[in-house]
Amino acid sequence: MIALTDDRGRLLWVSATRPGRTSEITACRHDELTARLRAAGLGAIADLGFVGLDDSGPDIDPAVITGYKATRNRPLTRGQKLSNKALAAVRAPVEHGFAHLKNWRVLGRLRTDPKWATALVRALLVLTNREVSR
């Protein structure tokens, strides 16, 4: 599933769950997602699983910002490492929001239809926000 948080790490929205064999990136249309973000005037900071999602070119501001991945033949430069470090600092509150959601241990043992899993995760989103605000 994909979840959106605000800049302080509060969970705002959770996508529908997909079967375990489906990746988040293959589940959505790249162009449609970035077009919707641009149309709304929004941007997203994503983890390394979303590298290549927004290859819009150098003249257009990216809608999805990701870090850099090293490969076997091309290690990261010092500037790329610093960029990854800055993105990690910005993503830290977001990861805390995901951690609050993952504290519900039922998600680790969830083996059910994605339709029911979506309802469960969205209910847990409401409970998580209630607990965090307390």
Domain that holds residue 118: 3-133
Tell me the per-residue pLDDT of 23-32, one tens digit each, with 9 for 90 and over. Answer: 555 545 556 6
Q: What is the pLDDT of residue 4?
A: 79
* CB hemisphere CA count around 49 (13 angstroms): 7
**What type of residue is 86?**
A
Pairing mode, strands 3-5 and 11-14 = antiparallel
Q: What is the pLDDT of residue 74?
A: 92
Total structural domains within the chain? 1
9 Cβ contact list (under 8 Å, min separation 6): 93, 94, 95, 96, 97, 100
Tell me the per-residue pLDDT of 60-99, one tens digit each, with 9 for 90 and over. Answer: 667 778 889 898 999 999 999 999 999 999 888 888 888 8
